[in-house]
Amino acid sequence: MISAKKAVFFLCVDPIDHVAGAVFRAVKDVFSPEETDIVVDGNRALRSADGNGNLVYFVPTRKVVSHDYVRYLPEMRRAFADCDIAGIVTWHAGENAPDRIFTAHTTGDVASGNFGPAAPEYMRNVLLAMESGRREEGLDEFRVTTEATHWSGMVYGGGSPGMIPEFSVPMIDVEIGSAPESWSDERAARVLAKSLGSVFASDGRRVRNLLCAGGVHFDPNFAGAVFQTWDDCAFGVSHILANQWLVSGCYEDATGEERLERCVGSIAGGIEGIAFHDNLKGVYKDRFRALGEKYGVPVFKHQALRRPEAIAWAD
C-alpha cells in the first residue's frame, strides 16, 4: 500500500505580502479546507486532501516565513518535518523584473553553497498546474517561468544562509509578479491556489533531473525545459545556478567542487544531466564537466534542451 504524501504551504496573510492573502482566500474558496490543531501566529493551519488521499496543509502567517526564519524554523521542524514538499507563497518584485508572471524557484544561497533540499518532480507538477490554470482562466498575458535558486531571507535579514539546510523538507517559493496590477489579479490568485492543490498530480512521465548552470535570473532556456517532453520523459528542473552567483561565489576556487557536490546531494533522486548556458566562462564549464564525469551523467550546452532525444543519457 502506497502511503499518502503531505505538502505544506506558508502564506503571509498580513497586507505586507501583496499576493499570499488573496491566494489564501482562494484556497478556502476552492478547497474548503478543514481546520487542524496546528497553530502558527495565533491562526490554525488548514488542511485539504486530494483525490488520492494526499494531504495539503495551508498555514497562514503574519510574516513571510523566509523573512523571519529564525522564529519560524523551530515550528516548521516540529510540525512539518514529515512533509514531502513545502512552499512559501509570496509576491515577486525587483528592478527590471518581468511582469505578469507565475514563477517558482528552489531555495539556496549559491555563493555560500547552502542549498535547501529540492524535489524536481513536485516543483514540475506545480509549474504545469500553473500553466494549465493560466490557460483555463484566459490569462493570455501571463506566462509561467522559473527563477534561479536563491533565498529571500538574505535580502530581508531572516537569518544566516547556514539555516537553509536545517529544514529537511524540499522547499520552493511560489510567486506572482511583478507589479501591483498582477499582484491584485484575483484570477491569478485562483490559478496559484489551484496549483498548490496539484503538487502531487503527476502526468506520469519519467522525470530526468537536471542541474542547470549559468544564464540570467529568469533564463528562458531553463524555464522552457520545464515544458519540454519527449517519448515518455520530461526534464526535472530544480536548482538553477545563475551566472552572477557562480562568479560572485568564486566557484572556480578550491571549495567550488565541494559546494557543487552539496548542491547535487540536495536534489531528491540525484541528477541525470547537467545543462550549462553557452555563455558561461570556460573555467566554470570545466568545473561542471568534471562534476558530470564524477557522477556519470552527460554535460551539455543549453541548446541541447530543445533536442532532448539526442542527449547521450547514461542509460
Q: What is the pLDDT of residue 183?
A: 98
Q: What is the pLDDT of residue 89?
A: 98
- Rg of the chain in Å (alpha carbons): 19
Closest CA to 314 of 260, 301, 303, 300: 300
Q: What is the pLDDT of residue 236?
A: 98
15-46 pLDDT tens trace: 999 999 999 999 999 999 999 999 999 999 99
Q: Taking every pair of C-alpha atoms in the chain, what is the biggest distance, in angstroms?
A: 54
d(CA 11, CA 60) in angstroms, rounded, equals: 5
Q: What is the pLDDT of residue 2?
A: 66
Three cell numbers written together for 127: 509549474
3-state secondary structure of 279: coil
Q: What is the pLDDT of residue 153?
A: 87
Three cell numbers written together for 179: 507589479
Q: Running along the chain, 315 residues long, what does each successive block of 10 average in pLDDT?
A: 88 98 98 98 97 96 96 97 98 94 98 97 98 98 98 84 97 98 98 98 97 97 97 98 97 97 98 97 97 98 98 95
What is the CA angle 278-164-59, rounded to 5? 110
239-262 pLDDT tens trace: 999 999 999 999 999 999 999 999
d(CA 150, CA 63) in angstroms, rounded, equals: 19
